[in-house]
Structure 1
Amino acid sequence: MELAERVSAHNYHPLAVVAREAEGAWVTDVDGKRYLDALAAYSALNFGHRHPVIMAAAAHQLERLTLTSRAFHNDQLGPFCAGLATLAGKDRVLPMNTGAEAVETALKLARRWGYDVKGVPENEARIVVMSGNFHGRTTTIISFSDDPVARRGFGPFTPGFDTVPYGDAAALEAAITPNTVAVLVEPVQGEAGIIIPPAGYLEAVRRLCTEHEVLFLADEIQSGLGRCGATFACDVEEVRPDVYILGKALGGGVVPVSAVVADDDIMSVITPGSHGSTFGGNPLAAAVGLAVVGLLETGEYQERARVLGEQLRERLEPLIGHGLTAVRTRGLWAGVDLDPSLMSGRQAAEGLAERGVLCKETHDQTLRFAPPLVIEASDLDLMVDRFAEVLRA
């Protein structure tokens, strides 16, 4: 830990835990202490640490072929793209690596679609985004963030974005102009603290995008792939976006894998040389991604998120008024607001770590619980019991 603090950039403020190995929902540190993982790498570990199906796919591929670039084909890319497209009910997949890359890809896709298909004048495209959003930390993405920590010292910022309040359909409708090409929205805002939009909001987004010939871009990087009790978070509201933006759990906790998924009438605007990635769609990533798709096809993990999520909600809600001011859940995902007179989110996370549970705060007074979907019901109770101990302490 001391070495990392001395030689790595201080762009994170990690807890004082040094992990050495992990399996399922449990992590062991360098001293042999075991911790229950209640964060799952911000949903990148939806299927737990070292899931045997994912590890087997990775090990098999490591022995055969890891990288070709996209200069020519590899035998894993086609099956992965076909499987993911079928899972999403779309025609085509554009594979990338990180979530931020996938968001950037979707923004480029929407702009070019706006010019080539909708007929927006060149360089006049607008994209509507939401207050409280988090889509990554590239220069373009922080240009439409309202987080001062993410923005300070990194201007000038990229133009072309209009921000409206999250969950406000009337404000969204008022912001759409003839030059609007897309609406970018998180079905559930993760970094903001598991903020769930009002019932019917996503349906209104879908209706408005259809009426005004605007693309609905759903950033499901944290919320998708089983986390919310459905394959996609939009499924919970029975809404289908034009474009899915996926990442984190798509890499199975092994390699970074992200993707933009859309139909031919949208994806066809991307042509050779207009976008790319040396590592995007590499055979190792594709093999791992295909294994993840296979796990989701069974529906087992979506059901676990639904059932265990209900258990989590039932255990957390009684803590309101006893250290918590609010609880928000969607599937196996919870944001809890701490009474500021009691402790900060950081203090709560440190208290949990001392008691063998790994969690992380966001925005000072909120904790996020996002354990792997493979967690046992008894371990979920243990997690909440330890959290209640922290609040009482």
Structure 2
Amino acid sequence: MTSAFLTVVQTAFPSLDISPVEPVEEKQRTGARSSKDSPSSIERRRRYLGRVSLAMLVLAFGVNSVYMGREYDEEELKLRKMKAEEAPATRWGRTTDRFKELFDYFNKPAWSELLPPQLPPPHGKPYTLLVSLDDLLVTSTWDRQHGWRTAKRPGVDYFLAYISQFYEVVIFTTQYHYTAMPILEKLDKYNFFITHKLFRDATRSINGKIVKDLSYLNRDLSKVVLLDTHEDHISTHPENSILLPKWTGDPKDKGLVSMIPFLESLAIYKAPDVRPILEAYHGKDVSIEYAKKEAEAKQRHIEEWSKKSKGVSSSLTLSSMFGGPSSQPRSAVPLTYLEQKRLEAQQLYKEEQAYIMAHREEFDRLLEQDQQAMNEGQPNSLWEMFGLMTGQTKPADPAAGSPPASPAPSSATSTSK
């Protein structure tokens, strides 16, 4: 108890120890720099190399900026799809334009020319028809019971087969190759009607939106028509496009087939530039408006024919001498030029379909052979893939057996008796 009390008293009152504090000797400074404050030789070398690298980077940036401000040559203008009068006139404008081009590289199509050069007539068609896939030719639905299912639009087979007589048909879809190819193989099994196929890597991204930029198409845009259902896809070339309503799966739909008369008339009349014609139908139902114009043209044709045939006097016939009719029966109204060409195209379509039906088994056999050849050419292991990449041939199958050895040539010496 006593020791605890003393402890409390000692902690409650300050210490009375007044012994003098020992003086601390101050270190005398000589003026020399301490080794702790100075950087080491490695640190000095690192700082020196950093300054040199920064100076070289600034110098390279300046030289590159000056070089990027050079004038555009013809080859660069062609690659950038730009005319000389559209190019920036100042060095600063050319520099900034080229810098933007560097950052915009991944937003452009994978190739500067999406299609190969067009074949000359009569092998190639003068007009190109770009057709979207989703919600135009097919539509896809998903449910928990069946998963993804794809339905063909009514009349899509007839549309592709018939319109391919007039156009170079190109499927231009925003889907990737591995998802769109199975659908396209169903639409055109023998590759008779679809000339080319363009997928997601052929599109362009502008402000985060997918766009089908026709300037990369490698075709004369005065003879290019694009059918699509998304307004964003046609934003760069609305003058070449026809925006159609989406097909939602109606089995009685006739919207695709109703576009054939308008499209075939462009090719039959050989329009020098389709863009003014398409702009005249902008914002309208093309199939309905064109049907009205064609009906008006037909009515004018009938009226002109009636005026020409009305003034023709009938000659005296043998029947008129015996009380019969004095005039010859009037002939039917002749077909217009468009109707004549349309009948020829329909007849050619029937002949093509009859030929395909008659030789379907042969086409299927050739298609199966091509598929087998492709499967046999695929490597079965990583080692075989490496051998094909290095140019080595695939080893022969030992189960097939080795070919028989050719007999050794016999000597032709003769002995005399």
The TM-score range, normalised by the shorter chain, is: under 0.3
More helix by share: 2
More strand by share: 1
TM-score by length of 2: 0.22
Greater C-alpha radius of gyration = 2
Instruction: Identify the structure with bigger relative contact order (alpha carbons < 8 Å, sequence gap 6+).
Output: 1
